[in-house]
Chains A and B, each alone.
Chain A
């Protein structure tokens, strides 16, 4: 059965006009117009472009949320089996709009989507994780070739067929991992890779090196004697009963625990749900993880100005980078608001 396909184009590829028409709002035309004809040509008998949604670049860029909210119902009304957006080549506003509309259609209508753009289009970095973005040239000189690749992948998505690796299918890596079955066991692959490395032959690591950002430690602008110091840990200290329900692994929560009036942590009042290390010793004496005892002594002797009266704690094991970054930012914001100058961060 021929699939119903909806195309999305900007004012230029939709043949409304050039930059002077970049402000026009979303509209829908029956069938294939402008660049959507190339999509129809690539589809052949496999599908029919039933509608083309067009929106001006400036309208889509300057009122992005509104534009997407207006376009999704236009797409839905055409009851598509597949949405093809662009290709946007190196056109930045257009690429971002293609990505945004595809992401919204996929999420709200659960309709398969595909778009295409050049590697340097800002839409790639913004949307490649969410939707399939096919790599195209910088300009429309090879429009039909590029559109054919978009359509080929789009048909597979619409038919729920297995999608190959990014290089094989021509889309930008989405940064998602998926288990597949390799041709040889891991041990054989490891020995082969080592022999390549030893012989200075090229080898392809199966895991990309992470681009962990380097975070330089900020300078303490006060003397320690005048500074307020906080204790923060990802080692899993919680009051007995774990009142915040901090997860034993893959944590999404952290706790804020008062140490007001305490010269130390009484082991009987604390627990530790952390599943990533042997917690025997820190349960026996929580100071091995969060040194409130020593910090109070430093406070008393005047070596530090003041010990912050709240300890922040979470469980750092198998925690996603996204949750780590969010929790870190939230804790930092609270510490800053409380006038804390420096943090002793104990990890395990």
Chain B
């Protein structure tokens, strides 16, 4: 499988009468885009805003962030959700750097579960989205639209937009081409057979909250009964995996640019052999967790024949334990593991950082505490959250978890909790 990400750099984003790329400036026909998105009967009152790095602007009610991508020579975009169900991960895909699509949630009253993005000030540097030009989509549910249907519609609007934007690079020579090619897992050339085989166990959803019917996560499947499954890493990079609707310190953008898959590709053939990816879900009950853990360990140790595995989680406490339980089962089969955890302490004490203590699970990297308070400085403009503007405009308090892109549980970020 060979995936080419054909990157085009964008350094400006502007409203115009046509959607096209002019040099490095991306021009967007907001009216035409708004009309396209309004065809979804579940949405009403579409609003599109453009915000820029360095602008004293805060985006509120952030639900998810999507990277602009589009298949170049056929193939389906975001298969199973936007496009038809088809395999992803092969061929050429257009990708825009420096620009992102931000979807907001205008429905929920519990705004504490939503995040903000700061385009200037000290917090802009903590998030990838403080450094991108962002097209912000605000849309309201039409009468009678249930919560899950609304979120499905909002996400679909963002995916449509992401494809629309990326297609502008169709006739442009890319600034760089990234190639991801991994042969079938067992076929290791003899001269590289000494390298340790490393697998990645990617928890893609947590059943702490049941998924909606339209909450496609793996090729459009809401993963309600999913058992651990082996996928090619390119499928993840090419739109097969989307974040569900529970967005605790994880964005679809980070999955599309998956940092762990990139890190393993970067070392592949040099210090390790990338043996493959196992996708899992965090289960709701103990028998499900145990079943999932030993099935994962079997795939990692016996099917992929890995010597080592890295793990990431999604969601909160139960997924944290679920991940560690799988890692522990791997260790029992002789597979060395490293897990990426959040600092789970809610009172800032080192004693509360972990919710598990399993044999062998002793190598831990952390992505920081999402509970730690952070100050949001005053801004000149609030986008995506008119109703919250009075609060979000002035200096206010939030947490790291409330700053979208400051903590990405898949490991895309540099924030970490240090014990002092």
* A positions within 8 Å CB-CB of B: 129, 163, 165-166, 173-191, 193-195, 197-199, 203, 205-212, 249-250, 275-278, 280, 317-322
Contacts and interface: CB of A to CB of B under 8 A. Distances in A.
A191 B264 contact: yes
Contacts of A276: 208, 316-318
B352 A180 contact: no
B418 interface: yes
B153 interface: no
Contacts of B363: 193-194, 197, 203, 205
Contact of A208 (B263, B318, B339, B350): B350
Nearest to B208: A277
B360 to A, nearest CB: 10
Interface stretch (B57-65, B228-236, B364-372): B364-372
B332 interface: no
Nearest to B367: A186
Interface in B191-225: 196, 198, 207-210
Given A175-B419, A321-B351, A205 B362 contact: yes
A211 B352 CA distance: 10
A198 B208 contact: no
B15 interface: no
A198 B197 CA distance: 10
Interface of B: 126, 196, 198, 207-210, 259-260, 262-264, 267, 271-272, 284, 307-310, 316-318, 336-341, 343-354, 357, 362-369, 372, 400, 408, 410-420
A186 B412 contact: yes
A206 B340 CA distance: 10
A186 B413 contact: yes
A118 to B, nearest CB: 20
A208 B349 contact: no
A175 B350 CA distance: 5
Contacts of A129: 349
Contacts of A209: 354, 357, 362
Contacts of A187: 259-260, 262-263, 310, 340, 410-412
A189 B339 CA distance: 11
The 9 closest A-B CB pairs, nearest first, are A187-B411, A187-B259, A186-B411, A207-B364, A194-B338, A177-B417, A187-B260, A175-B350, A190-B365
Tell which of B337, B347, B408, B410 has the most Cβ of chain A within 10 Å.
B347
A183 B352 CA distance: 25
B313 to A, nearest CB: 12
Nearest to B125: A181
B338 A193 contact: yes
A186 B259 contact: yes
Contact of B416 (A195, A206, A319): A206
A322 B354 contact: no
A184 B316 contact: no
B365 A212 contact: no
A206 B420 contact: no
